[in-house]
Structure 1
Amino acid sequence: MAQTKSAFNPSGMQLIKDGLFKLKERFDGTQGEPYIVESNKFKALYFDSESTQSLMDMQAPIRLVVSYTETMMGFLLFHPNPKKIAMIGLGGGSLAKYCHHYLPQSSIVVLENSARVIALKDKFHVPENDSRFQVLEADGAEYFRNTEEKYDILLIDGYTKLGQAAQLCSEDFYASCLACLNPNGVLVINFSGAAGLNQVYQERVDRIFEYPSVLVMEDDRMNQILFVSQGAALSSPAEDLLRCASSLGQVHDIHLARTAQNFLMQRKTDAQ
């Protein structure tokens, strides 16, 4: 049965963030350490006073609250039943929890280089490590460079208090991602920051991958999500993607139809 979805409301999300920010102002500062702020309805992870790293609905811990995480799950449009997923960046575990719950046949490894972030994972209801789900303290770029494992999906959402980690946006890193992907595997990267710099990162990706990437702007204009495939998956006909979004919507509690439409709009723009 289809899950009930709340209407996407960027202004409502901003009200949530503003409320949490007022709570955060009560803190004396954490000297760059990750810390948690709670309201009656939400729990947030911060690295500093500038931005929210993760946001959890206290009544529905698995629900994806922040819209960019829903967009990142758009890989389902191209690879709905991945066997192996690797993620860089745990944060509050939003993507990890969602994949663990809704993709029970998937093996998932999450790479997080901050022991302090990992130490907070129980606060965000992140599952315990087991045979199919692992949170590892590791440098994601180094892990990809040295592993012989192959993955269907790579999700990159690695940020520090200074912004995107430098080792996660180099051509060498993107080459490592390519080497880690199975045929028709999909790489998804969250870019947050100056659009011009994100364009530079996309150009680096396109120099490494044979097939062109698609960079989707979030409705709140705060994030851009880049999709790129080891194969021709991103070139699927529009009707197929919309049909897939409708079918997946019977299972997944996210706005896949919106993601499909935004993706197709950007792909059409890129082709002009």
Structure 2
Amino acid sequence: MLIKRKSIEAQANTKSGVNNSPKRKVKYAPVTLSEMDGCRYLHFGTEWVQGAMRLRKPDWLELEYAQQMMAWMLFIEKPQQIAQLGLGTASLTKFCYRQFPHAQVTAIELNPSVISICQTMFKLPDNDARLQVLEMDGEEFVNETSRYGTLDVLQVDVYDATARGPVLDSAEFYQACSDCLKPDGIMTVNLFGDHPSYLKNIKAMKFVFDQVICLPEVHDGNVIAIAFNTKVKFDFAALHERAAQIKLSTKLPAKSWVNGIQLAMQN
């Protein structure tokens, strides 16, 4: 999804003449790993990276796109309910769980193997009173009416092995996401800027949400969209001050998020 690296298993299969590339219709893609320069990477049987963890800093957000998924912190300082669709290496889930000790953090993942490998290889904590990792379809999660109006933050990162675009991208899906958020709630979505799915997703989000801002592209095409349930007036002086606070407390490059929002507003 972010970086094209062949996993250890994929390399071995190529050398032996075995082709295990999953088809798009396979429900559960094979989960594979690779390591390089102190980082462990998650793959779905292909060279596409689905997430990363620095072994010496397991709770750090290693990839820039994952850092940008936290841009909602500029606007929401003390979230009570945070949900994540698509577990990846559990980097966002772990970060939110550690950073916001008073928040309920829920992660939704369809593939049970991803949950298992996050627990064994990516330091995902066990479920407790504040953390719930649920094995279910993200679309079903957001369509449960009992969740409507409950979330401060929704982070959406739902890709399959081919990493050609989010697997959930309809206006109906984004409407359900909006319904789950509080009136001042925010959704961040990981998109693929150089793929036709990008415009489809942006159009669907803009149809549903009052305001959608896209940060500058990072990695091999990743673009993070920030969708606001209620349109906001940007006070950039205040945002830069808030960014400095985020940088001090988390070391995340929040100033670049503010600069990215300013750039988006000019275009």
Structure 1 and Structure 2 fold alike (TM over 0.5): yes
- On the 8 A contact 1:187/1:228 being kept in 2, the answer is yes
Q: What are the superposed Cα offsets for residues 20-48 of structure 1, whole Å, 9 maximum, x if unpaired?
A: 64856533265540111124611110013
- Match in the other structure for 1:27: 12
- Match in the other structure for 2:53: 56
Question: Given the two structures, how large is their TM-score scaled by the length of structure 2?
Answer: 0.87
- Match in the other structure for 2:256: 258
Match of 2:114 among 117, 128, 138: 117
- Match in the other structure for 2:138: 140
Q: What are the superposed Cα offsets for residues 89-130 of structure 1, whole Å, 9 maximum, x if unpaired?
A: 001111011111111111110000001111101210011100
1:136 to 1:94, Cα distance in 2 relative to 1, 3 A: same
- Match in the other structure for 1:3: none
1:41 to 1:111, Cα distance in 2 relative to 1, 3 A: same
Shift of 1:248: 1.7
CA–CA separation in structure 2 for the residues paired with 1:190 and 1:93? 15
CA–CA separation in structure 1 for the residues paired with 2:211 and 2:166? 23
- Match in the other structure for 2:27: none
Map 1:213-232; keep pairs closer than 5 Å.
213-220=212-219, 222-232=221-231
Confirm whether residue 45 of structure 1 aligns to residue 30 of structure 2.
Answer: no
- Match in the other structure for 2:173: 173
Map 1:90-101; keep pairs closer than 5 Å.
90-101=87-98
Shift of 1:247: 1.5
CA–CA separation in structure 1 for the residues paired with 2:33 and 2:220? 25
Map 1:201-220; keep pairs closer than 5 Å.
201-209=201-209, 211-220=210-219
Query: Which amino acid in 1 is paired with 2:223?
Result: Q
CA–CA separation in structure 1 for the residues paired with 2:243 and 2:6? 34
1:160 to 1:92, Cα distance in 2 relative to 1, 3 A: same
SS in structure 2 of the partner of residue 263 of structure 1: helix
- Structure 2 residue ranges without an equivalent (≥5): 14-18, 23-29
| Count of aligned residue pairs for this structure pair | 250
- On the 8 A contact 1:202/1:215 being kept in 2, the answer is no
1:102 to 1:181, Cα distance in 2 relative to 1, 3 A: same
Confirm whether residue 79 of structure 1 aligns to residue 76 of structure 2.
Answer: yes
- Match in the other structure for 1:10: none
- Match in the other structure for 1:104: 101
Once the two structures are overlaid, the 10-residue window that deviates more, 215-224 or 113-122, is 215-224
Question: Given the two structures, how large is their TM-score scaled by the length of structure 1?
Answer: 0.85
Query: Which amino acid in 2 is paired with 1:157?
Result: D
Query: Which amino acid in 2 is paired with 1:216?
Result: L
CA–CA separation in structure 2 for the residues paired with 1:59 and 1:97? 15
1:194 to 1:39, Cα distance in 2 relative to 1, 3 A: closer
Identity %: 24
1:30 to 1:40, Cα distance in 2 relative to 1, 3 A: farther
Query: Which amino acid in 1 is paired with 2:169?
Result: C
- Match in the other structure for 2:241: 243
Q: What are the superposed Cα offsets for residues 31-81 of structure 1, whole Å, 9 maximum, x if unpaired?
A: 540111124611110013231001110111111111000111111001121
Query: Which amino acid in 2 is paired with 1:126?
Result: L
Query: Which amino acid in 1 is paired with 2:97?
Result: H
SS in structure 2 of the partner of residue 249 of structure 1: helix
Shift of 1:199: 2.0
